[in-house]
Amino acid sequence: MYVPRLTELPAWQQLLQHAARLGSVHLCDLFDQDPGRGDRMVIDELGLYVDYAKHRVTAETLQLLVELAEQSRLRLQIDAMFAGEKINLTENRAVLHTALRAPRSARIYVDGVDVVPEVHAVLDKMSVFAERVRQGEWLGFTGRRIRNIVNIGIGGSDLGPVMAYEALRYYSERSLCFRFVSNVDGTDFAEAVVDLEPAETLFVVASKTFTTLETMTNAHSARRWLLAALGGDERAVANHFVAVSTHATAVAQFGIDTANMFGFWDWVGGRYSMDSAIGLSTMIAIGPAHFRAMLAGFHAMDEHFRTAPFERNMPVILALLAVWYNNFLGAESIAVLPYDQYLKRFPAYLQQLTMESNGKSITLDGEPVNYPSGPIYWGEPGTNGQHSFYQLLHQGTRLVPCDFIGFCRSLNPAGSHHDLLMSNIFAQGEALAFGKTTDAVRAEGTPDWLAPHRTFEGNRPSTTILADQLTPEILGKLVALYEHSVFVQGVIWQVNSFDQWGVELGKVLARQITDELSTAEPALHHDSSTNALIRRYRSRRSAAANPA
Ligand code: F6P
């Protein structure tokens, strides 16, 4: 399907002119001219209230952005993704995370095979296993019940599980202890198991490829740790290790019985896999019923994305606003600021989802892009961030659109905490948008010399997403909202959001340097800086004993 280069699309050119015309129109003016925009520029569906009124956009901006989406053939791309077409061209794969949450009655074909029965067979197998662990029926090698679950994985095989566990901790089985090990730094594993009883510990080795250096290194350390404590009997591995992977041979080679393997498919990208078997630790924590409620949330957002007109489509609107700031107003990053402590790992999760997906500079046609693509996503939960980096958001020189996420009811209501929390989320959006003029500052009696320092120029945009309460279903909707927003952005920028070749070079060089660190007198052929660093490390690594 021929699509002209993005910058040649008529809507792109019109948006350039429109941005120049709209220029520095202030949000104060936009609200003055259109006082009702706060009630109108909202999408209130699926239990999510998405307020995008505090954005530097008019009805014309939104219409042009929607035209940009249409001229980018977004509708066709959405249909192609949902239909299982191999839109991940550089890996020749379908992109079907939406099949992971499709109901049993759905029919979705990849290479002529309906994948829905396989998806549900794995979910059923996960449910049986999760219940056995939760009920204390799955026993360790010495007959003790499992009390600790350690997920070993990295990237999508870690960030989704740990984010979901933290987000849904309220719903988790509190008699079980969950840990997550990802880093190849031995400290991660050491600290994760330091207080665990091996006889009561189950390792979930989660790796799509089952070859990832970090995960395999940690999995081997886990096996040594376990066997050292349980007398070295290799048979213990069967009770204490299960695998989540697409690679049965590698799982068997590690020594895990493939009967204890939970599979998924090459059409599930790592960063889109938290609702596949990669979510096994999540299911053990919250139970199969809550897990399925989360899947239902994902599916509801999938259906909204697939069917809603672009003007009323939450992922599309979020994506188009990101494109607007990224490509027409010069913003380089987007801050995601959840006002809920349970969502503390949500920004970290979104970093992989967004930046591994759209951190690309070559189009699907193999041409370098001539416009900025994926912005930097970052963030921290509120109100902590307010006492850290919000200074820059309010008075710095950079434009940083913000996504605020909050809930009307706390899962832990206590005194005035929640009203205080929510008054802050509302106050931040208001302060960012409308600021405080120098005149207003002076009128408060501030001396002239100090007034500029205390002035807030405002005009800093934000979206606020409100839901009633953080539930598994709402979490599914939120994650799917961002998944699809990332997809829409990738379609507009004409990049493949589903490969990640950019992580390869570092892996190859690390393998080479690992050899150079373990051979006696290696000839080093790196640049002078890297050679010197390697020599320094080699000469110093055994120089001093570790402190006690
Ligand atoms: O190195 C990047 C990456 O491939 C991610 O895309 C992926 O989520 C992560 O590594 C882990 O991969 P795996 O699940 O195969 O161990």
Question: Distance of CA 81 to CAs 94, 156, 170, 340, 545, Å?
Answer: 7, 20, 34, 32, 55
Active site residue 387: yes
* Residue 295 identity: L
CA dihedral of 168, 172, 178, 180, whole degrees rounded to 10 = -20
Tell me the percentage of the chain whose pLDDT exceeds 70.
Answer: 99
Exactly one of 166, 356, 380, 483 is catalytic; name it: 356
Nearest ligand 1 atom to the CA of 503 is: 1
Any atom of ligand 1 within 6 Å of the Cβ of 18: no
3-state SS class at 101: helix
Mutate to test the pocket of ligand 1, among 210, 261, 503, 508 (most ligand atoms within 8 A of CB): 503
Determine the length of the chain: 548
Looking at residue 386, its pLDDT comes to 97
Tokens coding 408 = 């009307």
Mutate to test the pocket of ligand 1, among 208, 265, 503, 505 (most ligand atoms within 8 A of CB): 208
Please state the rounded mean pLDDT for residues 329-344. Answer: 98
Does residue 58 have a cis bond before it (omega within 30 degrees)? no
Any atom of ligand 1 within 6 Å of the Cβ of 500: yes
Per-state percent for the chain, helix, strand, coil, to nearest 5? 55, 10, 35
pLDDT at 314 over 90: yes
Exactly one of 387, 453, 504, 525 is catalytic; name it: 387
Instruction: Write out pLDDT tens, residues 64-74.
Output: 999 999 999 99
Band of the pLDDT at 546, cuts 50, 70, 90? low
Question: How close is the Cα of 498 to the center of ligand 1, in Å?
Answer: 12
Instruction: Write out pLDDT tens, residues 259-291.
Output: 999 999 999 999 999 999 999 999 999 999 999
Interhelix angle 213-229/186-193, nearest 10 degrees: 40
Exposure letters 267-299 (e unless 16+ CB within 10 A, then b): bbbbbbbbbbbbbbbbbbbbbbebbbbbbebbb
Q: Look-up: residue for tokens 């009124």?
A: 53
Active site residue 356: yes
Does residue 212 have a cis bond before it (omega within 30 degrees)? no
Instruction: Write out pLDDT tens, residues 354-403.
Output: 999 999 999 999 999 999 999 999 999 999 999 999 999 999 999 999 99
Nearest ligand 1 atom to the CA of 245 is: 14
Is 141 within 8 Å of 197 (Cβ atoms)?
no
Tokens coding 289 = 């019923």
Any atom of ligand 1 within 6 Å of the Cβ of 271: yes
Question: How close is the Cα of 216 to the center of ligand 1, in Å?
Answer: 12
Angle at 183 between CA 178 and CA 185, to 5 degrees: 120
Band of the pLDDT at 521, cuts 50, 70, 90? confident
Instruction: Write out pLDDT tens, residues 395-453.
Output: 999 999 999 999 999 999 999 999 999 999 999 999 999 999 999 999 999 999 999 99
pLDDT at 128 over 90: yes
pLDDT at 248 over 60: yes
Please state the rounded mean pLDDT for residues 226-246. Answer: 96
Least confident of 135-144, 300-309, 505-514: 505-514
Instruction: Write out pLDDT tens, residues 450-464.
Output: 999 999 999 999 999
Band of the pLDDT at 24, cuts 50, 70, 90? confident
Tokens coding 100 = 């992971």
Looking at residue 338, its pLDDT comes to 98
Task: Output the residue whose Cα is nearest ligand 1's atom 16.
Answer: 207
